[in-house]
Structure 1
Amino acid sequence: MQSDKIIIRGAREHNLKNIDVELPRNKFIVVTGISGSGKSTLAFDTLYAEGQRRYVESLSSYARQFLERMEKPDVDLIEGLSPAIAIEQKTAGHNPRSTVGTVTEIYDYLRLLFARVGIPYCYKCGRPITAQTLDQIIDKVMSLAEGTKILILSPLVSGRKGTHEKLFSRLRKEGFSRIRINGKTFAIEEKIELNKNKKHSIDLVVDRLVVKKNVARRLADSLELAMSQSDGVVTVDIVGAEPVFFSEKAVCVNCGISYPEFTPASFSFNSPQGACPNCNGLGLTTEFEPNLVIPNPELSLREGAVSLWANRTSVHFFNFLDSLTSHYGTNIYTPYKNLPDQFKKVLLYGSGDEKITFYFERDDRRYKYKKTFEGIMSNLKRRYMETDSFQSREEIKQYMTFRPCPECNGAKLKRESRSVRTGNLGISEITELSVEKALDFFNNLKLGGKNEIIAQRMLKEITERLGFLKDVGLSYLTLDRSSITLSGGESQRIRLATQIGSKLTGILYVLDEPSIGLHQKDNRRLLTILNKMRDLGNTVLVVEHDEETIR
Structure 2
Amino acid sequence: MSSRRANDSILLEGVRQHNLKNVSLRIPKGQLTVFTGVSGSGKSSLVFGTIAVESQRQLNETFPWFIRNRLAKYERPRAEVMTNLSTAIVVDQRPIGGNSRSTVGTMTEISPILRVLFSRHGEPSAGPSTLYSFNDPQGMCDECQGLGRTVRLDLGLLLDEDKSLNEGAIRSPLFAVGGFQWQLYAQSGLFDPDKPVRKFTAKEKDLLLHGEGFKVKRPGRELTHSNEYEGLVLRFNRRYLKNGLDALKDKERKAVEQVVEAGVCAVCKGGRLNKAALASRINGKNIADFSALEVSELLDELARIDDPVAKSVVQAAVAALERVEAIGLGYLSLDRETSTLSGGEGQRLKTVRHLGSSLSDLTFIFDEPSVALHPRDVHRLNELLKALRDKGNTVLVVEHNPDVMAAADHLVDMGPGAGTHGGEIVFEGTYRQLCKADTPTGRRLRHYTGLKEQVREPDGALTIKHAKLNNLRDLTVKIPTGVLTAVTGVAGSGKSSLISGVFARQYPDAVMVDQSSIGISSRSTPATYVDIMDTVRKMFAKANDADPGLFSFNSTGGCPACQGRGVIQTDLAYMDPVTVTCEVCEGRRYRDEALEKTLGGKNIVDVLGLTVEEALSFFTDDGVVRKLAMLREVGLSYLTLGQPLSTLSGGERQRLKLAHRLRDTGSVFVFDEPTTGLHMADVDTLLALFDRIVGEGNTVIVVEHDLEVVKHADWVIDLGPGAGRHGGQVLFEGTPSDLTAHPESITAEYLRADLKRAAR
User: Is 1:506 equivalent to 2:361 in the alignment?
Assistant: yes
Q: 2:66 and 2:201 mapped to 1: Cα distance?
A: 71
User: Is 1:407 equivalent to 2:267 in the alignment?
Assistant: yes
Change (3 A) 1:384 1:511: closer
Deviations 1:452-479 (A, max 9, x none): 2x32332222112211111222111111
Q: 1:407 and 1:266 mapped to 2: Cα distance?
A: 17
Q: CA deviation at 1:4?
A: 1.7
Match of 1:31 in 2: 35
Change (3 A) 1:321 1:383: farther
What amino acid sits opposite 1:34 in the alignment? V
User: Is 1:438 equivalent to 2:298 in the alignment?
Assistant: yes
Q: 2:231 and 2:17 mapped to 1: Cα distance?
A: 63
Deviations 1:169-218 (A, max 9, x none): xxxxxxxxxxxxxxxxxxxxxxxxxxxxxxxxxxxxxxxxxxxxxxxxxx
Please identify the structure whose Cα radius of gyration is greater: 1
Look up the SS of the partner of 2:75 in the other structure. coil
Q: CA deviation at 1:94?
A: 3.1
Change (3 A) 1:11 1:379: closer
Deviations 1:45-66 (A, max 9, x none): 1111111112111223343232
Q: 1:519 and 1:459 mapped to 2: Cα distance?
A: 31
Match of 2:51 in 1: 47
Q: 1:317 and 1:376 mapped to 2: Cα distance?
A: 13
Change (3 A) 1:19 1:433: same
Q: 2:338 and 2:21 mapped to 1: Cα distance?
A: 39
Match of 1:189 in 2: none
What amino acid sits opposite 1:31 in the alignment? F
What amino acid sits opposite 2:69 in the alignment? Q
- Give the 5 Å matches for 1:294-443: 307=171, 321=195, 324-325=198-199, 380-381=236-237, 397=256, 399-442=259-302
Match of 1:12 in 2: 16
Q: 1:326 and 1:270 mapped to 2: Cα distance?
A: 43
Q: 1:440 and 1:305 mapped to 2: Cα distance?
A: 56
Structure of greater relative contact order (alpha carbons < 8 Å, 6+ residues apart): 1
- Give the 5 Å matches for 1:12-161: 12-120=16-124
Q: CA deviation at 1:286?
A: 2.6
Q: 1:457 and 1:272 mapped to 2: Cα distance?
A: 28
Unaligned runs of 5+ in 2: 212-229, 243-247, 407-760
Judge conservation of contact 2:6–2:28 (CA < 8 Å) in 1: no
Change (3 A) 1:268 1:379: closer
Change (3 A) 1:100 1:36: same
Judge conservation of contact 1:423–1:447 (CA < 8 Å) in 2: no
Match of 1:486 in 2: 341
User: Is 1:292 equivalent to 2:160 in the alignment?
Assistant: no
- Scaled by the length of structure 1, what TM-score is found? 0.58
Look up the SS of the partner of 2:356 in the other structure. helix
Change (3 A) 1:75 1:401: farther
Deviations 1:283-335 (A, max 9, x none): 233310245326x99x8889977625995999x9789756955989xxxxxxx
Match of 2:306 in 1: 447
Match of 1:274 in 2: 139
User: Is 1:538 equivalent to 2:393 in the alignment?
Assistant: yes
Q: CA deviation at 1:67?
A: 1.6
Look up the SS of the partner of 1:70 in the other structure. coil
Deviations 1:238-267 (A, max 9, x none): xxxxxxxxxxxxxxxxxxxxx6xx111111
Q: CA deviation at 1:400?
A: 3.1
Q: CA deviation at 1:504?
A: 2.5
Change (3 A) 1:410 1:8: same
Q: 1:99 and 1:376 mapped to 2: Cα distance?
A: 34
Look up the SS of the partner of 2:314 in the other structure. helix
What amino acid sits opposite 2:299 in the alignment? L
Q: CA deviation at 1:397?
A: 3.8
Q: Given the alignment, which residue of 312, 323, 326 partners 1:468?
A: 323
Q: 1:67 and 1:379 mapped to 2: Cα distance?
A: 38
The list of structure 1 runs, each at least 4 consecutive aligned residues, that deviate by more than 4 angstroms after superposition, is 299-306, 308-314, 316-328, 345-351, 374-386, 393-396
Judge conservation of contact 1:348–1:378 (CA < 8 Å) in 2: no
Change (3 A) 1:416 1:3: farther
What amino acid sits opposite 2:64 in the alignment? S
- Give the count of matched residue pairs: 364
What amino acid sits opposite 1:80 in the alignment? N
Q: CA deviation at 1:490?
A: 1.2
